[in-house]
Structure 1
């Protein structure tokens, strides 16, 4: 039963003293209004109206119910008005989990623009290269690099981000740049934890190369800084590498080869009852990040 509509019908009948007039006012059939009143009576398990061929009047129980039903409708209207006002003003908070490198650059820039546009929004960023637990950590949106998101989550693809293998001029002054993927075996490679190989593609022929080095980290920004300091060769996502390459701090290597990247997705738990600020922020990211990022 739609109790709010049933309550509206009951109040209208009580005010008009007529099912017919109430039906006209509500733009419903007399039968619908009658059924609504019966539903309210069944819900409260009390007779609320005296019905005669000439007049409809309230019982004593109906008089008490009428007062409380008015309050229910008033509270419902206030709640709807508050929700509408929130949607118009876009107030509230959104909690976002993202990889550290993404959080420190692209996401931070997007959040800055978003909060300038919607100053009543509060954004919490959880920066970690480990996957956050959406329920346990109360995460509204998780940004993840993956080709296939978890099928138990709702996912929206934001863009594709390429990868690039690079090193600093300082490192390349000490050693010769690799000319083929196999040459990487002779170099100190800076690796993400649990990584022991890199993939490259040329003429649609993929190659997987075992790589090793004296530094591993679970944070890609640590690897980037180590590469800039000349500690070795690194594979980086292009969103982080491109600005550093443009500044001349890193040099792309093996440029005849394609280094597979990954897609960036926004994942979240459910579309049902999703706060307007969450929907709006995902839409905002999609509009900001609509162009794939590849190496310069």
Structure 2
């Protein structure tokens, strides 16, 4: 057996978490896989795995080897797919990171459809609102919203996104809605994030403004729910608040200062540009959102 095949056994073992699960996935015996990985460790002269009766985990060197081996196997699979023709169905694992609210509201219903359409593909999704290091943390693709920082990542447009300021009709009872940005100082603002300052983006001459309020959260759905309950004004993308706006639970304010539409992007490392799996996934997202969303930009 070649070292490349031993790499596949090692990656499958860590992906599944055990020799037994890897054996079931690959149609081999767990004794065979264990023996091959012992031989791989002997060939490399390092210990890759810590084995106990109850757990199996990678050593630090094993984790580094796993990340490099996974990249190599992806490149080999992509090369094989390119050589055997574009009509071949994509296969492999796609590791994705996306913002929490966008993932729960919009990727959640789409990913089962994607997996049903491409049965040789597996997906690992992590939802997080932090800025993930794709290369350092081993992700294949990230969904990002708004302006992109300068980087070496490839960006593909998926869908438009519009920010609006909104609050509940109950919040406005007995008080005037803000008509200028300066009047926001007299209102309760619902703040996204936990930094020392929160800035809201606007259109026109004043492109941003620092706002304050008593309630902060790092999740847009929590802020939407707080706004519906009358706690204040929130700035939110329409993909979170559109149903509440349509039902009348929320109303928009300061529409004259609404910023220009932004964009939802799929970003991935440059060395993955030839990946059939990534291209198929991005095109699937573009197609799905074009059918579901009205293009505002």
TM-score bin (small chain): 0.5 to 0.7
In structure 2, stretches of 5+ residues that fail to align are: 1-75
Match of 1:196 among 181, 195, 198: 198
Q: Aligned ranges for residues 134-283 of structure 1 at < 5 Å?
A: 134-173=134-173, 175-193=175-193, 194=195, 195-201=197-203, 204-206=204-206, 208-272=208-272, 274-283=274-283
- How far is 1:255 from its partner? 2.3
Render the CA deviation track for 1:123-170: whole Å, top value 9, x for unaligned. 221111111121233211111123234331122122331100001123
C-alpha displacement of 1:293: 5.0
1:207 positional shift: 5.1
Give CA-to-partner distance per residue, 1:176-211, whole Å, 9 cap, x none. 32222222111110111234332333xx43354332
Indicate how the Cα distance of structure 1 residues 289 and 107 shifts in structure 2: closer, same or farther if over 3 A, else same.
same
In the TM superposition, what is the alpha-carbon distance from 1:263 to its structure 2 partner?
2.1
Which structure 2 residues correspond to residues 2-41 of structure 1 after superposition, within 5 A? Answer: none
TM-score, reference length from structure 2? 0.63
Change (3 A) 1:179 1:283: same
Q: Deviations over 1:84-118 (max 9, x none)?
A: 59973433221111111110112223323312322
**Cα distance in structure 2, aligned partners of 1:166 and 1:187:** 12
Three-state SS of the structure 2 residue aligned to 1:265 is strand
Answer yes or no: is the 8 Å Cα contact 1:100–1:128 preserved in 2: yes
Q: In structure 2, how many angstroms separate the alpha carbons of the residues matched to 1:266 and 1:272?
A: 12
State the alpha-carbon separation in 2 of the partners of residues 163 and 81 from structure 1.
40
Structure 1 residue 288: Cα displacement: 2.4
Match of 1:287 in 2: 287
SS at match of 1:158: strand
Residue 117 (structure 2) aligns with: 117
Q: Does the CA-based 8 Å contact 1:141-1:267 persist in structure 2? A: yes
Provide the C-alpha distance between the structure 2 equivalents of 1:114 and 1:138, rounded to a whole number of angstroms: 21
On the 8 A contact 1:165/1:259 being kept in 2, the answer is no
Question: CA offset at residue 284 of structure 1?
Answer: 1.2
Contact 2:152 2:270 in 1 (8 A): no
Distance, in Å, in 2 between the alignment partners of 1:256 and 1:293 is 20
The 8 Å contact of residues 100 and 129 in structure 1, kept in 2 or not, is answered as: yes
CA RMSD of aligned residues (A): 3.0
Query: Does the CA contact (< 8 Å) of 1:95 and 1:141 recur in 2?
Result: yes
Alignment CA distance shift 1:257-1:109 (3 Å): same
Looking at structure 1, the residues matched to 80 and 141 of structure 2 have their Cα atoms a distance apart, in angstroms, of 25
Distance across 2 between alignment mates of 1:224 and 1:134: 29
Pairwise CA distance, 1:258: 2.1
Gaps of at least 5 residues in structure 1 are: 1-75
TM-score (normalizing by structure 1): 0.63
